[in-house]
């Protein structure tokens, strides 16, 4: 198995209804859903919004977890990767502390090994700004990095995007993350 490429995934039942306001997004969701691990939960609204920004500037997407809403301003080619990333913010919220702490342990091992790069820009820029104190104290910056790395890893695994300029984590650590997801995520029903 090539650690630089996500392994093909078998089809799982996805029991999350998505209320989509754009027919092109609805078509894209059909293909994406077949690659996801089993997820279920109440409906999530998926909307296209032009000129999407956050406090740092232009963004491809944003999720409002309590409102169960996702907003997108990205190309059709970027949508699968960005969608899976945003969906996994819902997974992270409901994953529970044991799973989140286990993922932090995986990230802590990578930090000790001084890995560079990541599987998406949202995780990579946060990783670059971490200090040893952030990691030791489990600071907010550390916890945000762990969340973003979890979501970027899910996007790498389940979006169907084989290559991307933001997939910059080394092959060894990609393989480790894939193994972790296979053991900890794919063997359970995920709640969103």
- Chain segment 112-168, per-residue pLDDT in tens: 999 999 999 999 999 999 999 999 999 999 999 999 999 999 999 999 999 999 999
Average pLDDT (2-15) is 54
State how far the Cα of 181 lies from the Cα of 22, in Å rounded to an integer.
Answer: 31
pLDDT of residue 7: 55
pLDDT of residue 173: 97
State how far the Cα of 76 lies from the Cα of 33, in Å rounded to an integer.
Answer: 16
pLDDT of residue 18: 87
State how far the Cα of 190 lies from the Cα of 185, in Å rounded to an integer.
Answer: 8
Could you tell me if 160 and 31 are in contact, meaning their C-beta atoms sit under 8 angstroms apart? Answer: yes
pLDDT of residue 20: 87
Whether the predicted pLDDT of 13 surpasses 70:
no
Cβ contacts of residue 70 below 8 Å, gap of 6+?
44, 45, 46, 47, 61, 62, 63, 64, 83, 86, 87
Angle, vertex CA 93, rays to CA 141 and CA 75, nearest 5: 80
Q: Domain segments of the chain: what residues?
A: 14-191
State how far the Cα of 187 lies from the Cα of 185, in Å rounded to an integer.
Answer: 6
pLDDT of residue 19: 86
pLDDT tens-digit map of 45-54: 999 989 878 8
pLDDT of residue 31: 86
Could you tell me if 93 and 147 are in contact, meaning their C-beta atoms sit under 8 angstroms apart? Answer: no
Q: DSSP 3-state helix, strand, coil percentages of the chain (rounded to 5)?
A: 45, 15, 40
Q: With bands split at pLDDT 50, 70 and 90, how would you rate the model's confidence at 187? A: confident
pLDDT tens-digit map of 63-111: 999 999 999 999 999 999 999 999 999 999 999 999 999 999 999 999 9
Whether the predicted pLDDT of 36 surpasses 70:
yes
**Cα dihedral sign for 25, 26, 27, 30?**
positive
Average pLDDT (2-26) is 67
State how far the Cα of 87 lies from the Cα of 92, in Å rounded to an integer.
Answer: 9
Q: With bands split at pLDDT 50, 70 and 90, how would you rate the model's confidence at 5? A: low
Quick one: which of 29, 35, 43, 39 has its CA closest to 9? 35
């Amino acid at each position: 198995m090539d650690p630089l490429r996500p392994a093909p995934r078998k089809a799982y039942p996805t029991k999350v209804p998505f209320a989509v306001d754009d027919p092109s997004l609805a078509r894209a969701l059909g293909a994406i859903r077949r690659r996801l691990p089993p997820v279920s939960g109440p409906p999530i609204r998926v909307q296209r919004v032009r000129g999407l920004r956050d406090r740092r500037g232009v963004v491809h997407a944003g999720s409002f977890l309590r409102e169960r809403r996702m907003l997108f301003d990205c190309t059709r080619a970027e949508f699968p990767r960005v969608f899976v990333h945003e969906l996994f913010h819902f997974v992270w919220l409901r994953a529970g502390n044991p799973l989140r702490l286990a993922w932090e342990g995986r990230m802590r091992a990578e930090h000790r090994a001084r890995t560079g790069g990541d599987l998406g820009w949202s995780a990579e820029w946060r990783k670059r700004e971490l200090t040893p104190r952030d990691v030791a104290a489990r600071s907010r910056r550390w916890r945000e990095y762990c969340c973003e790395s979890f979501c970027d890893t899910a996007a790498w695994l389940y979006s169907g995007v084989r290559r991307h300029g933001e997939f910059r984590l080394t092959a060894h650590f990609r393989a480790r993350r894939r193994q972790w997801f296979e053991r900890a995520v794919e063997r359970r029903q995920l709640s969103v």
